[in-house]
Chains A and B, each alone.
Chain A
Amino acid sequence: MVEPQRAARQFSPWLDAWRRFRRHRLAVASAVILVAMILSILFAPLLWKVAINDIDFTARMQTPSWQHPFGTDDLGQDLLARMLYGGRISLAVGLSAMVVALTVGTIIGAVAGMSRRWVGPALMWLTDLFLSLPALPLLLLVIYLFRDALKAAFGPEGGVFVMIVVVIGGLRWMPVARLVRAQFLSLREKEFVEAARALGASKVRQVVRHILPNALGPVIVAATIDVAAAIIAESTLSFLGLGFPPDIPTWGRILYDAKDYLDIAPHWALFPGAAIFLTVLSINFIGDGLRDALDPRRVM
């Protein structure tokens, strides 16, 4: 008799995706590196207890040594401690902005994808409009206008944090919305959704239980890229001197301080720059691996 094509192999879409991800060597290496970085950012301060603002004029602009593994800046502050602190901020900003972008984008995309009348095209026009907005200039404009008010409401760091996260997230929801809408448009006509509808499932239930899980693939990839983009945006702002307050050592801010001392203390700029680069590079590779793994062209 004719034999079945597939042998008894575990067939689950997530397992398949994991297998495909594993094949992308750079993505796997990046995942390892990123996890290592995150772990050190979270836990190293427990071991390395040097303060971030220990001013010590006798140790100005020293190159890396046992006392100061990353060297010191022009005020003698330990760069390793400052970098670890800055890492936490980058992480927090990246993840929060991504959550904002994901939430806004998914809601808008879902509503647009499910609507059958004018709401859909209207939301898409809005999405296109936002896509045409020049990101950095607008970011700078908003920071300029709202900086003081937010500082009053949330305190200097909190205010800037909220503002940066909201604006960066608020300018990155568009690709997510587009993706989600496209997935919804194609999935809502599929039989399993019709079946749910026939069984009396409300629109919300259809969306949450049936469509959303299947639309996840490309959204996960977009979310990964969003984290990288948010980190770059925050670093850029800090580098321009317009991000967090000057005493907060985000990586971009450290670069801002270091840029005028390139000739005498290059290590000061190289460490934060390399850190940003490595983080973003790893995230990008992981995103690429995820895209290969969750490729919508394959059966998912």
Chain B
Amino acid sequence: MTVMGRYLLRRLLIAIPSLLGISVVLFTVLALAPGDPFGELATNPSIPPEVRMALREKFGIDDPVAIRYVRWITAMLQGDWGFSFASRINVDTLILQRLPATLFVIGSAQVLALMIAIPVGVYAATRPYSLFDQISSTLAFVGFSLPTFFTGLLLILIFSVQLDWLPFVYRADIDATGWRWYWEHFRQAVMPITVLGLFLGASMTRYVRSAVLDVIRLDYVTTARAKGLGERVVIVKHVVRNALIPVVTLVALQMPAIFGGAIVTEQIFRIPGIGSLLISAILANDTPVIMAVTFVFACLVVFFNLIADVLYGWLDPRITLA
């Protein structure tokens, strides 16, 4: 097996206990909850009796905790997530329907954030304490101090209410074809992606700046300059490449927080993703959906951490060869 393959396997083997650990925490929370979270089961007439029996058996309310956990986790991992009280379809179908919208918004926001943070952060770090640096630093602080729900409301106020340029209700089924379809999709996605992207970008800019500042004073940068390569090459080829390594770590570590922002954005802009699904499930006391969505979020975190590990291994040769 290649060196990279071995490294991947190692990270995968570490990811699994993480996932199990998270699932234990989730299940513990559920088990500690007073009352019967599945009380709806008994009283909700819209659940077919067979499903009700199956659910009771799956969650094994009367079995010892450990058994219940094992049963629950095997069901979760097999994709058997139960039946939604409120929507009357299988939870996994429901989640799979709505996951793409969430991933699209989060992914685009992350890309936007990187497109802002890397150039601005690098440039600010190469001219520390200059006017650009001071202004961009202050703007960055403003950016991550503005809560996403406030920025979202402000954008709606300006662009939808006052100017009427952009729609603020998201529709997954747009009645159009070809370019118009893309354009409409773009118009409705612009605001939520901007809100999330600017928020992420703000904190990332400061992080990039400090990562670059840390690298720029290292010995090998002086060596690179002494080789007469030209300042631009020194910065882009030697400095940024090394500074990206901690930035990748940050992107992965920020993942749990991004989901919080995604939930809020989906609520404000009525995006049919799993974030808004979580909220509506809570309001409807739809426990299986709540458990499943939380589990999916946890899986996504572990998954993105794995991606970050892979990127890290690709970027830093010292890791894979260790």
Given the known inter-chain contacts A236-B147, A276-B147, A276-B150, please indicate yes or no for A140 contacting B278, CB distance below 8 A: yes
CB of B154 closer than 8 Å to a CB of A: yes
**Alpha-carbon distance A130/B22, docked complex (angstroms):** 8
CB of B267 closer than 8 Å to a CB of A: yes
Given the known inter-chain contacts A129-B18, A281-B141, please indicate yes or no for A134 contacting B256, CB distance below 8 A: yes
Q: Contact string, B26-49, partner A, CB cutoff 8 A, digits 1/0?
A: 100110111101000000000000
Q: Which residue of chain A is the closest to B152 with respect to CB atoms?
A: A259
* Chain B 235-266 residues near chain A, CB threshold 8 A: 253, 255-257, 259-260, 263-264
- Interchain pairs with CB closer than 8 A, number: 130
CB of B290 closer than 8 Å to a CB of A: yes
Residues of B near A255 (CB, < 8 A) are 149-150, 153
Interface residues on A, range: 35 or more
Chain A residues at the B interface, C-beta cutoff of 8 Å: 26, 128-138, 140-142, 144-146, 148-149, 228, 232, 235-236, 239-242, 252, 255, 259, 262-263, 266, 269, 273, 276-277, 280-281, 284-285, 288
**Alpha-carbon distance A228/B146, docked complex (angstroms):** 11
A interface SS class: helix
B interface SS class: helix
The 3 nearest A-B residue pairs measured at CB: A136-B260, A145-B33, A273-B150
Interface residues on B, range: 35 or more
Given the known inter-chain contacts A239-B264, A240-B267, please indicate yes or no for A134 contacting B150, CB distance below 8 A: no
Residues of B near A144 (CB, < 8 A) are 282, 290
Given the known inter-chain contacts A131-B256, A133-B22, please indicate yes or no for A146 contacting B34, CB distance below 8 A: yes
* Chain B 273-304 residues near chain A, CB threshold 8 A: 278-279, 282-283, 290-291, 293-294, 297-298, 300-302
Nearest Cβ on chain A to B54's Cβ, whole angstroms: 22
Q: Which of B34, B142, B294, B300 contacts A138 (CB 8 A)?
A: B294
CB of B115 closer than 8 Å to a CB of A: no
Residues of B near A142 (CB, < 8 A) are 29
**Alpha-carbon distance A288/B146, docked complex (angstroms):** 16
Contact A141 B301 (CB under 8 A): no
Nearest Cβ on chain B to A67's Cβ, whole angstroms: 25
Contact A288 B141 (CB under 8 A): yes
Residues of B near A145 (CB, < 8 A) are 29-30, 32-34, 37
Q: Contact string, B293-320, partner A, CB cutoff 8 A, digits 1/0?
A: 1100110111001000000000000000
